[in-house]
Amino acid sequence: MTSFLIVAPLFFALITLLSGVGFRNVATIIFVLGLSALSVSNIVTFDAPIVMILPHFFHTLFLVLDSFVLLYFLWQGIITQNSLVKVFALLQIILYTVVSFLSPTLFSNDILVDDISSVMYLVINIVGGIIIVFALKYIESEEFSRVKKNGFIAMLFFFLSVMNFIVSTNNIEIFFLLFELTTLCSYILIGYRGDEISTLNAQKALWMNQIGGVAILIALIFSLLQYKTIYFDILIANINQIYLLPIVFLALAAFVKGASIPFDKWLLGAMVAPTPVSAILHSATMVKIAPFLMMKLAPAMSGFVSVTITLLGTFVFFSASLLALGKDYFKEILGLSTIALLGLMMALAAINTPEAIMACGTLIVFHALSKALLFLQAGILEKSFHLKYVQDIDGFINHSPLVVFFIIIGFASLTLPPFGAFIAKFMAIESIAREIQTNPLYVFALIFIALGSVFLTLLYFKVVTKLFAKDVDAKVRHVEISKYYTIPSFLLLFLLFIGMYISFKQGLLNSLEMITPLLLIAVVPLLFALLTFKKAHRVKEYNCGEKEEIQLSMYYFHMPEYTQKAIMILAIFGMWILILGVVFK
């Protein structure tokens, strides 16, 4: 089953390249259903870890692929004249050469599928598959050739294949290759439109993610020199708390891939890509490597490393939530909230208590569903209504109540009970509160979570109140929305409610705690739309017959530039503290 989940999307990507539209669409839907069914079957029947040693041929093949990818990055740096891309590509080539000459003496399984991998399969294949179905219609509206449109869908399937592999491997050297392949996928997809801004942001994603690759190679060198192995399980089982450099550098790679501040610019720059790219990066692929890797490393963390990563992660949660309040570009708001919640996931993983790990896993799953739902609505706003900014969605309830409904549920599922993300955040607060007894510094983590949660809730109301605002100048315009757009949204909604039911059956919430918030979520917007200021409309002021454009402060929160710089400096300082604290321990 594991082999099929890794190989099948790759072969289907090749089939997609040569298909007509009709066959491609039908085959994609059937294939996505099959992948989803296999992922569900895997977690239902999962009993014990699945292990496998790959033949020597595959290791040779991976060596060639690694070399090719790094040389491709160097070539891209040369032809685009991007110094940072060239420098990090060269540095990786040098470090990878060193790794190749340091032969391990302790060996283990190349494939290790555990319960964390099984959960990740659900996220990757179900949520990622739904996004690909959405992309079938979306990409047809782009001015690409038929080959390039099919290539877009093929690249998304290739992304799923790489992700299924990366959550299955126990070999850090193979993990590095797959890490770089996700960087390659993001580079191609972010720059897919080929315009100047897409190209520049793709290059930014390339050089920033290569920092993560450098960190993995440094971790490999330290692991080989000290522990004589390239395998996660042996490294973690034999870890010496005095020599944690391999763990710290792997954690740094997680921060890079999770776009944690100060590495957030690559993910925010990815918003220029077609919306399915943003959706799949934020929910099912790429950034989810960060909490997955942190959970994998968690058993080796304790004391200083655990506390520092928890403080860093919760600080990112607080800071990104605050920064999101000052944004107007809808996808950028979603991007910053993703960065915030990824920080929280990594913080929970670093605590490594059963409650914290459960909270982290819950947040991974429900964040994927909620963020996929919201990004699909961003795609509908962009393609069907040509809207990208919050300031442009005045009274959007009059244009498309269905899209507004999905947006409301999407934001509510991230911030309010009885949805899984809220439960996970509540579990996070409980987990960190318990750790205060062992280290008072966890008080700061608790404060960061409390403030970040408040900011995310304010963000929800900032957008929702705009959707229901009444502007007499707004022209009502009804647009027919494709079933390729609405059906994926309904599927994600269904999965969110399935998650609520599971939470109820697990005893995480009682009947009253489930029904009351749902009624409030349903009734308050309805009252807002039907009763509040029923006969009042907002009219722009006139100056000499010309209308005055107004900006209401409740919709816009200004973030001074010096505050943004201070957040960046603190984040960088925290990461240096993490590295230096281990070096001089």
pLDDT on residue 520 = 64
| Six token digits for residue 110 | 């190349």
Nearest to 236 by CA among 106, 79, 137, 73: 106
Residues 6+ apart with CB under 8 A from 398: 474, 476
| Six token digits for residue 104 | 């391990």
Q: Give how far Cα 179 sits from Cα of 335, 339, 349, 521, Å.
A: 21, 19, 20, 40
pLDDT on residue 181 = 95
- The arithmetic mean of pLDDT across residues 208-233, rounded, is 94
Average pLDDT of the chain to the nearest whole number = 85
Distance CA 372, CA 279 (A): 5
Higher-confidence position of 318 and 285 = 318
What DSSP letter does each residue of 41-79 carry, written as one string? HHHHH--S-EEE---HHHHHHHHHHHHHHHHHHHHHHHH
Residues 6+ apart with CB under 8 A from 209: 182, 183, 186, 256, 257, 266
Peptide bond into 299 cis (omega under 30): no
pLDDT on residue 185 = 93
528-582 pLDDT, tens digit per residue, is: 555 544 455 555 555 555 555 555 444 556 677 888 888 889 899 888 888 888 8
- The arithmetic mean of pLDDT across residues 399-425, rounded, is 82
pLDDT grade for 329, boundaries at 50, 70 and 90 = confident
pLDDT grade for 86, boundaries at 50, 70 and 90 = very high
DSSP state of 286: G
- The arithmetic mean of pLDDT across residues 330-358, rounded, is 91
3-state secondary structure of 231: strand
- The arithmetic mean of pLDDT across residues 394-416, rounded, is 82
Distance CA 185, CA 73 (A): 12
Is the per-residue pLDDT at 336 higher than 60? Answer: yes
Which one-letter amino acid corresponds to residue 325? L
Burial 177-206 (b: 16+ CB within 10 A, else e): bbbbbbbbbbbbbbbbbeeeebbebbbbbb
| Six token digits for residue 444 | 């700061």
Nearest to 461 by CA among 511, 408, 418: 408
Q: Name the strand (E) or helix (H) holding 111.
A: strand 111-113
pLDDT on residue 500 = 78
- The arithmetic mean of pLDDT across residues 467-486, rounded, is 68
Higher-confidence position of 508 and 227 = 227
DSSP state of 474: P
pLDDT on residue 65 = 94
- The arithmetic mean of pLDDT across residues 328-348, rounded, is 90
- Which of 203-207, 256-260, 468-472 is least confident? 468-472
pLDDT on residue 45 = 85
Distance of CA 565 to the CA centre of its chain: 24
Is the per-residue pLDDT at 129 higher than 80? Answer: yes
Is the CB of residue 424 less than 8 Å from the CB of residue 363? Answer: yes
3-state secondary structure of 459: helix
pLDDT on residue 554 = 44
Is the CB of residue 293 less than 8 Å from the CB of residue 250? Answer: yes
Higher-confidence position of 93 and 466 = 93
| Six token digits for residue 103 | 């032969």
Mark residue 533 as left, alpha or beta (left: phi above 0; alpha: psi -120 to 50; beta: remaining): left
Distance of CA 520 to the CA centre of its chain: 29
Q: Give how far Cα 539 sits from Cα of 135, 390, 529, Å.
A: 38, 18, 17
Residues 6+ apart with CB under 8 A from 314: 343, 344, 347, 432, 444, 445, 446, 448, 449, 452
Is the CB of residue 119 less than 8 Å from the CB of residue 271? Answer: no
Q: How large is the angle between the packed helices 330-351 and 303-324, nearest 10 degrees?
A: 160
Distance CA 449, CA 471 (A): 36
420-473 pLDDT, tens digit per residue, is: 777 888 888 888 888 888 888 889 999 999 899 888 888 887 787 777 765 545
